[in-house]
Amino acid sequence: MRILAAMSGGVDSAVAAARAVEAGHEVVGVHLALSRAGGTLRTGSRGCCTIEDAMDARRAADLLGIPFYVWDFSERFRDDVIDDFVAEYRAGRTPNPCMRCNEKIKFAALLERAIELGFDAVCTGHYATLVDGPDGRELHRASDDAKDQSYVLGVLTAEQLAHTYFPLGQTPSKAIVRAEAAARGLTVAQKPDSHDICFIPDGDTRGWLADKVGVAQGDIVDRTGAVVGSHEGAHGYTVGQRRGLSLGVPAADGKPRFVLEVRPVSNTVVVGPREALATAEIAGGRFSWAGRAPASGDFPCHVQIRAHADPVPARAVLTDAGVTVTPESPFDGVAPGQTAVLYDGTRVIGQFTIDTTVSAVPVPA
């Protein structure tokens, strides 16, 4: 196949490209420039898509003997990922920018250009497995549960899966990938993995959002509506948060309180006890299927609501409004804007963005 290898400058994408070359494919490497602030460098495991990363990707491509290009996707990344991130927080939701990047950039914009240029597939260093099933290509979990990235790939459609290539999916551990990189002479063999949000490399999400959205003082209330504190912008809070609340009125039972809800229209943050984070139902309208669609509008599944959360047995129901999921046991601290990925065993069925949640704990009278 003619394969376009997306090379981030990290060890995973470098080894994935190397395996594609070794398998006999015609491979071209490409690094995506996603920021106009090209002078920035990585600090340990923080940040990505920097000048340093582009140089690391080029060195890997040179070692593999493949052509290498840098493509400027910064404008598309700003519009589809960064602006979306800010808009979601303004709306009181908790977005996942990695999901949007996979959906809009790596497997939409990049894949579209790759196909236009005559490539058969885009290769990345994601840890997930592709299986050619009776009804087409299927997306499954990786062999290494600790590194599995099928959750953040849950936004891929059947058409996109038909043009993807994940050489690392069956690798038992990341240690094997690093050892292989060292054996191949790749200088990124021990490079730290990237963490946090790539466009907020210092990790200060609240400060970054305050600069983008602004400061607006509002109330922090308990579940009965009683004011227990104040804040300088509801966008700086997310469901499940405990630290940084600065509450002026202690709870009657003396226990810590957690963010239960963010109401952007009234600029109000609702807090309550830990047990009130239990969620009995989630629903959303923006959904897609990773391969074949469910045969029935009412089906059992497992649902994962975060990249590193445990999947929960549940029942999903399709309606005209979207997807509603009821777990066998309550989810823990779900926020609108998060992505729910549905599984059938190891296979990804599809995903939807959570719009509404129903608490498992009644509001006190």
Where in the sequence numbering do the catalytic residues fall? Answer: 101, 198
Contacts of 203 (CB under 8 A, 6+ apart): 46, 196, 197
Neighbours of 299 (CB within 10 A): 15
Q: Which of 124, 108, 105, 125 is nearest to 116 (CA)?
A: 108
Q: Which residues pair with 69 in a beta bridge?
A: 30
DSSP letter at 86?
Answer: H
SS3 at position 339 = strand
Joined together, the tokens standing for residue 153 give 């790939």
Q: Which of 286, 285, 275, 261 is nearest to 330 (CA)?
A: 275
> Using alpha carbons only, what angle is made at residue 315 by residues 312 and 319, rounded to the nearest 5 degrees?
135
Q: Which helix (H) or strand (E) holds 69?
A: strand 68-72
